Every structure is written in C-alpha cells, then in structure tokens.
Amino acid sequence: MEVEKIDDEIQQLLQAHKHTWNQTYNFINSMSLKCAIELGIPDIIHKHAQPIKLSQLISQLQIHPTKSHAVHRLMAILTHSGFFTQHKASQKDDEDDGGDPEVAYMLTDACKILVKDSPYSMVPYLLLSLDPIQMKPWQYLSTWFRNEVPTTYETAHGMAIWEYASKEGRLNSLFNNAMLSDSRLVSRVVIEKCKWVFEGLESVVDAGGGTGTLAKAIAQCFPNMECTVLDLPHVVAGLQGTTNLKFVEGDMFQAIPPADAVLLKSILHDWGEEECVKILKKCKEAISGNGKRSNKVIIIDIVIMEDQKGGEDDDELVETKLCLDMLMMVLANGKERKEKEWAKLFFSAGFRDYKINPILGLRSLIELYP
Ligand SMILES: C[S@@+](CC[C@H](N)C(=O)[O-])C[C@H]1O[C@@H](n2cnc3c(N)ncnc32)[C@H](O)[C@@H]1O
C-alpha cells in the first residue's frame, strides 16, 4: 500500500477513535456537574462574589481531606464545559500566601442558574434528570426496541412514569420540584415578554399544570382572571389556592374544566399522536362552552425548526432538542415535533388555525384557535 494511503487510513482511524471516545464519555460532563451541585460548589463561588482561589474553595467544601487533591480536576472539566471560568489569583494574594501562583474560579452565566438560592435555579431539574430512577431506563433502551412494552420507562420500572410518581413519594417530589423550577424560569419570560397572549381572557385552565407555578404567576399578573390548575391527585392534593386560583384533581383525558383558554405547558411532548389528539379534543370542548371568538389553547413546548419563520436552530439547540426527543421517547413514549407534525395534530383534533411564536428559547408559544 502506498505510504500516502496508509497515512490517510491511519488519520481516519484516529479521528474515529477520538470521536467515539468523546461521545462515549459525554455522560461524564453531566455527572461531574451533578457532583459539583451536590457539593455546593456554585453556591460557594457565588457567595464569595469574586474569583475564589482553589485553596479557598477547598477549605469551604465538606469533603474528606484525602480528596482535596481531586477538586481541581472536577473544576477543570466543568471549566471546559462552560460552567466556570479560570483566572490567575491576583499577584498580591500569591505574595501574601508566599506560595505558587494559584488558579481562581468564577461562575459563568450558565452556572448562575445552578446556584441553589437563585430565583431561577434549575438545580431541582438537573437533580431529577440525573437521579438514578430517571437514569435507569437508559440501560433498557435496546431491550425496549426488542419488546412490546410501550415505554422504556415501563421496561425498566414495570410501570409508566405517572403511576410510578403516584406510588413513589421521592420521585413525586423530585418531579414536582423539577417542574416547579422550569416553570419559575418560563413564567418570568412569559409574564415579561408574552403577557399579551392572556389579554382579554377571563379564565384559564392550566391542564397538567403541576403544582401551579405558572398558573400562580398568571393569577398574580391578572387578578381578575379565574385560574385553575388541573392535575393528577398525587400532584395537587392538599394544595391551597388563592382568591383567583384553584387546584382541581382530575384526568385531562376525561374532562378539562370549562374556560376561555387552556394552557398546556410541557404536556403534549409527553404523549404519542393518539393521546395528543384526545387531550386536544378535551381542550376544544373546554373552551367551546361560551362561544367567545377569543378563546384558544396556549401551548408551551418545543418546535423543531427546520428553516421556517423562526429560522434554523443552531448546533447546540439542535443537539438539545434531539436529546429531549430521545428523553420523551424513553420516559413516556412522547416526542418533540416539527411544525408539520404539530399542524397534523391540531387539524386532527378539529382546530382551524394556529400560530407559532418561537420566543421562549428552547420552546415556542403556540396559540391554537378552535
Ligand atoms: C412534564 S409535567 C408538566 C407540568 C407543568 N405543566 C409544567 O410545565 O411545569 C406533566 C404533568 O402532566 C401531569 N399529568 C400526567 N397525566 C395526566 C392526566 N391524565 N391528567 C392530568 N394531568 C396529568 C403530570 O402529573 C405532570 O404534572
């Protein structure tokens, strides 16, 4: 074989090797992040309010002294993945310590939402997603491809996620807290940027509204609007409403209380086509009672953009949406949808028109008209 051809083959082989290892070990980024959160590293750095030297960080961590040497390695991978920045500690500090120059760390913007007390903390979301209960089904994905069981989750746990959450208190609270954290962040954006979508409505039902974070924000912003949160008994039992917010235990496949609008946040991506059409038909019934033209369904969910109105997704967004699509498949037999797949659902459920507003970062706000 010519030398040049051998060189090309070797290069290809090494490139393939590198790519395979990179993808194989991707989970190390996630698990390192989880570890840093469990150790409280973002909280310590946030509290320090200026670059924190490695030794200062170590001194505040509740770790065994024999593990101190490993902290800079955890910080190195998380610096590389964009959660911390590394700085040289000021020369004065080094002189004062009489030691070698030391690195210091700060939080990046991405890490600021991983501080536990941050008003928009995503820590509960991350702790749910990386909990062993939620990670276990991934070990069963190929088994699921070969069996007849509807979801990978059921293959792993013997029951669907909603049933498991109703029986396993730890999962129920992990799940509800995770949804609360996501809804807290999304509520802020919805109220600041998309308030118009609720204007003129006198009543809204948040179907599958969890513990009511988004509905509470809407109820506060629109004190004259009647807001209702509908969810399964294990989610809403015992929750206290306010003058214009109430919690109702129920099943959205059976009935959704009547209102001017039904809100579905992160609901339809949990379900397959047939179930989505059933839910949407129940929404249509709920908003059709009073015959107002302004009535609608408001959906907050991912739309996979190809090259339409919202433009194409960038690489990070494409990868995140592909991951979420797999996540929905594994957890609940749901999926993330392209615009034409959404449209098919809407028209199958008897709606006449829709409008996609790609204004919520990862997600879009979709208005659906009966
Ligand atoms: C992914 S969570 C979304 C929660 C909330 N909308 C949010 O975004 O924070 C899905 C919710 O649907 C609820 N759910 C599942 N099946 C339901 C049903 N048949 N009827 C009503 N709610 C249901 C779950 O309990 C859960 O709270």
Q: Which of 67, 86, 112 is the last residue before a domain boundary?
A: 112
Mean pLDDT over 100-114 rounds to 93
Whether residues 215 and 328 fall in one domain = yes
Chain center to CA of 198: 23
The total of structural domains in the chain comes to: 2
Whether residues 134 and 108 fall in one domain = no
Q: What is the reported pLDDT for 95? A: 56
Pairwise CA distance, residues 75 & 247, whole Å: 43
Whether residues 298 and 317 fall in one domain = yes
Backbone angles phi, psi at 209, to 5 degrees: -80, 10
Question: Is 277 part of any domain?
Answer: yes
Which protein residue has the closest C-alpha to ligand 1 atom 24?
Answer: 208
Which protein residue has the closest C-alpha to ligand 1 atom 9?
Answer: 179
Provide the β-strand partners of residue 265: 300
3-state DSSP of 198-213:
HCCCCEEEEECCCCCH
How far apart are the CA of 105 and the centre of ligand 1, in A?
39
| Candidate from 122, 125, 153, 162 with most ligand 1 atoms within 8 A of CB, to mutate | 162
What tokens does 288 get?
Answer: 């059709």
Question: Is 231 part of any domain?
Answer: yes
Query: CB within 8 A of 45, min separation 6: which ones?
Result: 52, 57, 84, 105, 106, 107, 111
Contacts by residues 139-148 (CB-CB < 8 Å, ≥ 24 positions apart): 141/330, 144/330
Domain range for 151: 123-369
Q: Which of 112, 140, 161 is the last residue before a domain boundary?
A: 112
**Number of neighbouring beta carbons within 10 Å of residue 1:** 6
In this predicted structure, the answer to whether residue 97 has a pLDDT above a threshold of 60 is no
Question: Is 118 part of any domain?
Answer: no
Residue with tokens 């974070």: 213
Please spell the DSSP secondary structure of 228-278, one letter per residue: EEEE-HHHHTT---BTTEEEEE--TTT-----SEEEEES-GGGS-HHHHHH
Task: Spell out where the chain has E strands.
Answer: 52-53, 84-88, 103-107, 203-207, 226-231, 245-249, 261-265, 296-301, 303-304, 337-338, 353-360, 363-369
How far apart are the CA of 26 and the centre of ligand 1, in A?
30
* CATH code, 77: 1.10.10.10
Q: pLDDT tens digits for 314-339?
A: 889 999 999 999 999 999 999 999 99
What tokens does 363 get?
Answer: 């997600």
Whether residues 98 and 184 fall in one domain = no
* CATH code, 350: 3.40.50.150
| Candidate from 174, 176, 205, 235 with most ligand 1 atoms within 8 A of CB, to mutate | 235
Question: Is 117 part of any domain?
Answer: no
Q: pLDDT tens digits for 206-263?
A: 999 999 999 999 999 999 999 999 999 999 999 999 999 999 999 999 999 999 999 9
Question: Is 271 part of any domain?
Answer: yes
Pairwise CA distance, residues 275 & 210, whole Å: 19
Vertex 189, ends 183 and 190: CA angle to 5°?
80
Q: Which of 71, 89, 112 is the last residue before a domain boundary?
A: 112
In this predicted structure, the answer to whether residue 308 has a pLDDT above a threshold of 70 is no
Question: Is 64 annotated as catalytic?
Answer: no
Q: What is the reported pLDDT for 93? A: 58
Q: Name the least confident of 235-244, 335-344, 357-366.
A: 357-366
Whether residues 231 and 294 fall in one domain = yes
Query: CB within 8 A of 57, min separation 6: which ones?
Result: 41, 44, 45, 71, 75, 105
Ligand 1 atom closest to Cα of 180?
Answer: 9
CB-ligand 1 contact for 212 (6 Å cutoff): no
